[in-house]
């Protein structure tokens, strides 16, 4: 059954609102990875796969595949670019680029459905480590990389796996603008759902991950070994002096490989099933891997029905500020850029 029906859609789509149209199918013979491989063959770029494991032992209820974006947001050294409807608009960066993204989100009148998971629309992407340079003076040179500081996709279609019900929700977002008949937008959404259903019904070519690491040489590290060890010793000295509680040091490594991002993801998925796993392909940027932890500001935040819930990660302490109690990140602000 298609939800909403045409009459309901016409009411919800008034004023150019973005409405999710969806249909549920049984999926006991399909997996998120097999569905992703089929979909990415048809949509080879601008897509994502999100999965998670709870308690290190069982898959979380939902897995998400998003693709065919109706809008893309990108921020890098050249400015902010917004791609929509085949056209790209570029504006210079003035302050925090996420303020521009906030403005885009405010312009979208989304009609969520109570029958869909929380992630049924919106934007999915990443913010790079060096984005902090828009917010604070951290010193040092910015690493030379082609990766954008931030990039987000607004998928027009999603495939949502319900691992409890063993079903798939195929979602297509529809809206009408510029005097277009909303009924035509609804018809396009039905066609988009049916196209995805045909893709999932098709057989999958052999996709076994080859044995071996596929590497072509040893990893090349950006920071020499002795320089990195000096940084470790310096961090330990700061901890002993009470300047900081902890420091997370990293060293960028590069290695050539003959593996595709999906093959890398499948190996990581088997070796290290994690609370948050992702495979992102956005333009020429490709990223996959497990996430064990993230910052105190983002890991435990959930927004629903106009309210935001913040859940502090393990190790957080309660700190009194102005007579009130609040959860706080255990690392002092001055130590985050050490």
Torsion sign over Cα 94, 96, 99, 104: positive
Would 164 be classed as within a structural domain? yes
In this prediction, residue 145 has a pLDDT band, given cuts at 50, 70 and 90, of confident
Residues 228 and 305 grouped into a single domain: no
Instruction: State whether 83 and 134 are in the same domain.
Output: yes
Residues 136 and 167 in one domain: yes
Please indicate, yes or no, whether residues 226 and 204 belong to a single structural domain of this protein. no
Pair (134, 244) in one structural domain: no
Is 133 within a domain? yes
Clarify whether residues 279 and 313 are in a common domain: no
Rounded to two decimals, what is the model's pTM? 0.81
In the chain, DSSP assigns E strands to 19-26, 47-51, 53-54, 58-59, 62-76, 79-84, 87-91, 124-127, 150-162, 167-174, 220-221, 253-254, 276-282, 285-291, 301-304, 307-310, 317-321, 324-328
Tell me which of 91-105, 134-148, 310-324 is least confident. 310-324
Of 167-176, 248-257, 269-278, 307-316, minimum mean pLDDT range: 307-316
Residue 56 vs residues 64, 270, 312: alpha-carbon distances, Å: 19, 12, 19
Q: Lowest mean pLDDT: which of 5-19, 149-163, 253-267?
A: 253-267
Q: Is residue 1 part of a domain?
A: no
Residues 172 and 56 grouped into a single domain = yes
* The pair of three-digit structure tokens given for residue 295, joined into one six-digit string: 């910052």
Compute, in degrees rounded to 10, the torsion defined by CA atoms 190, 195, 197, 201.
Answer: 160
Burial letters for 166-186: b for 16+ Cβ neighbours within 10 Å, e otherwise?
eebbbbbbbbbeeeeebeebb
Q: Does the residue 67 lie in any domain?
A: yes
What's the structural domain count of the chain?
3
Do residues 206 and 305 share a domain?
A: no
125 located within any domain: yes
Q: How far apart are CA 109 and CA 156, in angstroms?
A: 14
Residue 135 vs residue 185, higher pLDDT: 185
How high does pLDDT run on average in the chain?
Answer: 82
Q: Is residue 264 part of a domain?
A: yes
Please tell me whether residues 72 and 143 are part of one structural domain: yes
Please indicate, yes or no, whether residues 37 and 78 belong to a single structural domain of this protein: yes
Task: Cite the DSSP H helix spans in the chain.
Answer: 6-12, 32-42, 98-107, 182-201, 225-240, 261-271
- Could you identify the residue written with the tokens 């959930």? 302
Distance, in Å, from the CA atom of 243 to the CA atom of 233, rounded to the nearest integer, reads 14
Tell me what the mean pLDDT of segment 182-211 comes to: 90
Do both 27 and 159 map to the same domain?
yes
pLDDT, position 243: 94
Is 301 part of a structural domain of the chain?
Answer: yes
How many Cα neighbours within 13 Å face the side chain of 109? 9
Residue 215 has what DSSP assignment? B
Residues recorded for the chain: 338
Residue-number span of the structural domain to which 304 is assigned:
296-338
In this structure, what is the dihedral angle of CA atoms 213, 214, 218, 223, given to the nearest 10 degrees?
-80
Check whether residue 99 and residue 240 sit in a common domain. Answer: no
pLDDT tens, 35-85?
999 999 999 999 999 998 765 567 788 999 999 999 999 998 889 999 998
| CATH code for the domain in which residue 115 is found | 3.60.120.10
Confirm whether 11 is domain-assigned. Answer: yes
């Amino acid at each position: 059954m298609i939800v909403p029906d045409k009459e309901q859609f016409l009411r919800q789509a008034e004023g150019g609102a973005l409405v999710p149209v969806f249909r549920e199918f049984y999926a006991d013979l399909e997996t998120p990875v097999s569905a992703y491989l089929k979909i990415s063959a048809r949509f080879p770029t601008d897509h994502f796969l999100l999965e998670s494991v709870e308690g290190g032992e069982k898959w979380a209820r939902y897995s998400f595949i998003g693709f065919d974006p109706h809008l893309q947001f990108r921020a890098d050294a050249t400015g902010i670019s917004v791609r929509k409807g085949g056209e790209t608009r570029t504006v210079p960066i003035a302050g925090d680029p996420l303020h521009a993204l906030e403005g885009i989100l405010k312009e979208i009148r989304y009609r969520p459905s109570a029958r869909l998971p929380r992630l049924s629309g919106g934007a999915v992407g990443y913010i790079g480590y060096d984005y902090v340079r828009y917010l604070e003076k951290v010193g040092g040179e910015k690493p030379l990389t082609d990766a954008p500081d931030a990039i987000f996709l607004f998928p027009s279609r999603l495939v949502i796996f319900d691992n409890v019900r063993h079903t798939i929700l195929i979602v297509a977002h529809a809206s009408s603008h510029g005097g277009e008949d909303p009924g035509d937008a609804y018809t396009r959404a039905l066609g988009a759902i049916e196209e995805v259903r045909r893709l999932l019904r098709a057989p999958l070519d052999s996709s076994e991950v080859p044995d071996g690491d596929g590497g072509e040489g040893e990893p090349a590290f950006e920071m020499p070994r002795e320089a990195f060890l000096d940084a470790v010793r310096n961090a330990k000295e700061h901890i002993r002096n009470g300047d900081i509680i902890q420091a997370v040091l990293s060293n960028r490594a590069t290695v050539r490989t003959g593996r595709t991002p999906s093959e890398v993801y499948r190996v990581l998925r088997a070796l290290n099933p994690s609370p948050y796993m992702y495979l992102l392909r956005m333009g020429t940027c490709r990223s996959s891997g497990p996430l064990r932890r993230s910052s105190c500001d983002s890991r435990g935040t959930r927004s629903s029905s106009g309210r935001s819930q913040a859940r502090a990660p393990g190790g957080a302490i309660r700190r009194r500020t102005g007579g009130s109690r609040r959860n706080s990140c255990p690392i002092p602000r001055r130590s985050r850029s050490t």
